[in-house]
Structure 1
């Protein structure tokens, strides 16, 4: 357990330097993504549209999943959980 904790601490402290982009990639990236990622990055407007649409879908999914985890509204007598609960499984 202590070895695993030590490894996680090392990754946390020194991992940030490993995942930052190199100097060549910093120059090739758009201004928003500089020093964040390696590679060519988004090459046009369509790439940015795809990124934003997927970010909106992920954000909506996260919000709805938290909403239904906190208040599931399962009070109806014909809800599926009541079948299992009433049968005594």
Structure 2
């Protein structure tokens, strides 16, 4: 058990170090991304637009998924979920 915990902790520490940007990458990144990512940063404004559009889509999907999971809203007795629930 102790060996497994030690190995897991060491692996997590090594993964954390790999996630930190190196000095060269940090210097080449825009101010917003400094210290976060490796490699080439965004080349132009389209890169930011694409990423922020994806973020908005993901957040909207998450919001509506949670909303409809908590309160589905189907109250009709003929809704398809009733046929499944009645067979249980």
| CA distance in structure 2 between the aligned counterparts of 1:12 and 1:37, rounded to whole angstroms | 18
CA RMSD of aligned residues (A): 2.0
In the alignment of these two chains, the number of paired residues is: 87
TM-score, normalised to structure 2, is: 0.82
Tell me the residue number matched to 1:17.
17
**Structure 1, unaligned stretches of length 5 or more?**
none
1:70 match? 70
Question: Which of structure 1's runs of 4+ aligned residues deviate more than 3 A?
Answer: 5-15
Question: Structure 2: where are the runs of 5+ without partners?
Answer: none
Calculate the TM-score normalised by the size of structure 1. Answer: 0.81
